[in-house]
Amino acid sequence: MTTRNWKRAQPTSLRNALELCKDYAKARHNLSVERIAERMGLTDHWTVYKWIQTGRIPANLIRPYEAACGIDYVTRWLAASSGRLLIDIPTGRIATAADMQELQTVLTTAVGQLLQFHGGKAEAHDTLAAIQQATEGLAWHHRNVEKHAQPELDFQEV
C-alpha cells in the first residue's frame, strides 16, 4: 500500500474535506472517529459520522474538528471554493534549498498536469488541484521575499 502525500491532497468537496481530515487523523495520529469526537468534546461520536456522510458541519465546529484531526482541509476547501488562495503566513526567513526544491516540484507537477489535461489524459479536478498548489507556493515565496527585510521571530518548533 502506498502512503498518501498529505501536502498535495486537495479536497474536491466539503464531504471530501471532512473525509480527508478523518483519514489524516487515522494515518498520522492513529485517531479513530470516537477519539476525534472525544477531543472535540462531543458526547456522541455518531455526530461526526453524520457530518462526514452528509457533508454538513456547524461552522463553529470546523476549527475544533480540524484541530482534533491535526490538519485544515475543510478550511482549505472553503477558501478554494470561493476562489481564494490560502497560504501559510510567511515569516521572512531565508529560504532553504529544500524550500526551492519543493517549489520546483510543485511547479513542474502543475505544468505536467496542464499538458496532460490539454492532451485529454488528465481530469479537470486533478489539474485544478495542481495549479492551486503551484499558485499557493509562489504566493508564499512572494510574500516571504516582501517580508525578508523585517523577518519575524521563529517561535515554531522544528
Model pLDDT, residue 54: 93
Higher pLDDT, 146 or 111: 111
pTM metric for this prediction: 0.73
CA pair distance 71, 21, nearest whole angstrom: 6
Query: pLDDT tens digits, residue range 71-120?
Result: 999 999 999 899 888 877 777 778 889 989 999 999 999 999 999 999 99
- Share of residues in the chain with pLDDT > 90 (%): 65
Residue 93 is predicted with a pLDDT of: 76
Residue 32, C-alpha cell as written in the block: 479513530
Q: Average per-residue pLDDT in the chain?
A: 89
The values of phi and psi at residue 122, to 5°, are: -135, 150
Q: Which residues are CB-neighbours of 102 under 8 A, at least 6 positions away?
A: 137
d(CA 142, CA 67): 28
CB atoms within 10 A of CB 62: 19
